[in-house]
Each structure stands twice: as structure tokens, then as C-alpha cells.
Structure 1
Amino acid sequence: MFCAIVGGSDSNAKIVYRDQQVTAFLPLMPATRGHTLVVPNRHVADLTDITELESRQLGAAIRRTARAVRAAVSPEGMNIIQSTGDVATQTVPHVHFHIVPRWADDRMVLSWPTEAAEDDAAQAETLVLVRSLLPKSTDDVSPDDRRQHLSFIQAIVTRMSQASSSSKTWLLPIITLTYGYAVTKEQFWVAVLGMLAVFVFGLLDANYLKQERAFRKLYDKVASGGDIPTFSLNPSLAGPAGSRVNYWPDWEDIRSWAVAPVYAPLILVGVAIAVWAHCT
């Protein structure tokens, strides 16, 4: 629904401000007088997935809009609220900031826990972990470091592509031997063994493709100035927040033109040979 407002297709939208990067508008159900939303024009669901440039643009737009709202309705206070994820009460999967003017007698209720979630020792461990994973600002990354980082990622992409080609090359003599032997000796189980080899190599090839795609996303994010730690080779950092590396190929990898059209016919040939050998 926010994309419709940004794109101008919602004629009922109450636009406060719009430029090429950011849009501010009044919500359908304002919590208080002057309640305003600020969103990036690019559709992005998770705050950690916005680029550093977008974060600067959003910050500037929030400041401008908040000053205008404060001047317009003269609140006693103000909340700037951003929620990411269902458990954080995000209901629209598009990054947005609430600018909420506050008065002592308004209807807003914000409640913080009265007890600490971590003791000092646990908090110290969290501090070390967060510090170790804190990305450098793109302003602190030299062009030479970025080029070297991209070259490391590209080397992995190239290696995944070469491994994919090698898996097909290794499979050919195996299926030639097994299928040929199954035909000449009318051996059902040898044909099944050949099909098993095709399945294993196909799964391996799909995994290579999955990893290649993941590292290409990492390459694009580093090249665009995304918040990736310098020289990090963790492809999950280019995915949604909280994602982890999963080494099992997805359906889109299996049905890719580089996998399904190659291995599916070989499986069918094996099935045909196995059926023939079983019936003769």
C-alpha cells in the first residue's frame, strides 16, 4: 500500500512531502494530531536492508518533517518510532518511520520493562559481539579496499561457476559407464546407480548455483556501498536480517536453466533404461 502512495496511484493519499527518494504522508488512522509517516520510495521491508545513502536521505527527511509538524501543531513532546519485524509490531512490510506528536493527555501508550533484560556480564558480552560486527561507514572504506573486497568476492563467484561446470564434466563418464553397462548387460540396478549419480551431481550443481547467487548479491551490496564489514565474505549479510547460510538448494535453483534442463533428461533416460532392463 505504501508503494501505491509513493507511486502516486492512491488518489486518497494525504501527501506531506515527496521527492525522488523519500515520501512523507498522513496515515489513515493517526494516533495523535499531526501523526506523519516517512518512507523510502524504494520498496524495502527491513530497516537493515536500506543503503547508507538512503539512511542519510531518510534522516534528513525525518528531521525536516518533524520540524514542520512541531511548528504546525505545537506538541509537548514527540516520538520517532520505527518497527522492523512482526514481533516489533511492524504491520506493513515497507520501511517507515512514525513521527508522533505527543501531549500529556493523548491516547498513546508506550511501556518499557521495569527490569533489565541482561546483567552486566551478559551485556559486556553483547557489547563485544556488536562492536566486532559493526560495519564501517562507507566514508571510512578506501576505494582500494573496496576494489580488493570485490575482487575477493568475484573470485568466489568464479570458483562456484567453475565447480558447476566441473560437476557436469565429471558426471558424463559416470553415466556413460553405468547406462552403457546397464544396456549391454541388461542390469536394472546399474541403471538405478546411474540415476543416483545424476541426482547427487544435480543436487551438488544446484548448491553451487545457490552459493554463486548468494555471493553475487554480496558483490552488488558491497559495490553499491551497503553496510557490509570490510573484507567480509559472509553472503548472509546481503540477505534479510537474521538470515543464515543454508547449503541446501532452493526450488528456484533446482529448476534453473543450468540445472533442471541438464539433469532431468538424464534422469528420464535412466528411468527408461531401468524399465527396459527390468522388463527384458
Structure 2
Amino acid sequence: MGDLADRVPMDLAAYEHRVRSGRCFICAFLAGEPGYEHELVYDDGVYAAFLSRYPTQPGYTLVVPCRHVEDVVRDLAPDEYLALQAVVHRVASAVGEVTQPERTYLLSLGFRTAGG
């Protein structure tokens, strides 16, 4: 692993452009497109979970709907949202069995620009 001084700050403008104009990496991964490989750990046809390609912590896992969803609160019906959370619980429990963490954290990320 390189020295911290060797790290380059994230280019947020480039990231935003790529996210807004490029292919959804989750949809591309689930479709099996080359260049979007991740380690699938759960798939029931409605929800899937995979290990992060760039983990910040051991066991960093993403749990997602198998259909394209922009906002899990706005775009999922309450029963779909609760089903997703049940999968989160199941996957987090399984990951915890393997990694034996001191704590388990859940994080939901969103991205919004100042104008949007």
C-alpha cells in the first residue's frame, strides 16, 4: 500500500459528470457487462448484494434492488423498501459471521448537486 502522501484527491466534478452521463454501474454489473465485475454474494432475483470493488472496510457490501432505482425511499413502495431492509439484515448478518467485526454500520448514500 502506498504512502498517504501519494494519494490523489478525488475529482468530484469528474465523478459527478461520470455518474450523471455514464451507465449505472449497478445495472451494468448485474447485466454482466465487462469492466463492471464485482463479487456477488446474494441474489434472489429482486435484490442483490455484492462486495465493493473498492472497499474502505473489510466486508464492505452493497445491497441493491435488481431493477434500476434512483431513490429507494421515493421509488420503492413501503413493502419493497421493507423487503430490501430484510435483505440488508440477512446480508449484514452473514458478512458479520465471516468478518467478525467489532461493530456493524449501515450507510445509505445519495448525491445531490447544489442546483438539483
TM-score under structure 2 normalisation?
0.67
Q: Secondary structure at the match of 2:104?
A: strand
Q: Secondary structure at the match of 2:107?
A: strand
Match of 1:63 among 89, 102, 116: 89
- Answer whether contact 1:21 1:54 (CA < 8 A) is retained: no
**Larger relative contact order, structure 1 or 2 (CA cutoff 8 Å, min sep 6):** 1
Superposition pairs of residues 102-113 of structure 1, within 5 angstroms: none
The aligned counterpart of 1:197 is none
The aligned counterpart of 1:34 is 59
Structure 1 position 50 matched with structure 2 position 80: no
Superposition pairs of residues 120-131 of structure 1, within 5 angstroms: none
Deviation at 1:27, TM superposition (A): 1.1
Q: Which runs of 5+ in 1 are unaligned?
A: 88-242, 244-280
Q: What is the Cα-based RMSD across aligned positions, in Å?
A: 1.9
Larger radius of gyration: 1
Mapped to 2, the partners of 1:41 and 1:54 lie a distance apart of 12
Q: 1:51 to 1:14 in 2, by over 3 A?
A: same
Mapped to 2, the partners of 1:72 and 1:22 lie a distance apart of 21
What amino acid is aligned across from residue 8 of structure 1 in structure 2?
A: G
The aligned counterpart of 1:78 is 104
The aligned counterpart of 2:6 is none
Structure with more of its chain in helix, by fraction: 1
Q: Deviations over 1:217-271 (max 9, x none)?
A: xxxxxxxxxxxxxxxxxxxxxxxxxx9xxxxxxxxxxxxxxxxxxxxxxxxxxxx
Deviation at 1:74, TM superposition (A): 0.4
Q: Deviations over 1:99-136 (max 9, x none)?
A: xxxxxxxxxxxxxxxxxxxxxxxxxxxxxxxxxxxxxx
Mapped to 2, the partners of 1:18 and 1:9 lie a distance apart of 17
What amino acid is aligned across from residue 32 of structure 1 in structure 2?
A: Q
Q: Between Structure 1 and Structure 2, how many residues are aligned? A: 88
| % identical aligned pairs | 34
Q: 1:4 to 1:73 in 2, by over 3 A?
A: same
Superposition pairs of residues 237-256 of structure 1, within 5 angstroms: none
What amino acid is aligned across from residue 75 of structure 1 in structure 2?
A: P
Superposition pairs of residues 131-280 of structure 1, within 5 angstroms: none
- Answer whether contact 1:22 1:40 (CA < 8 A) is retained: yes
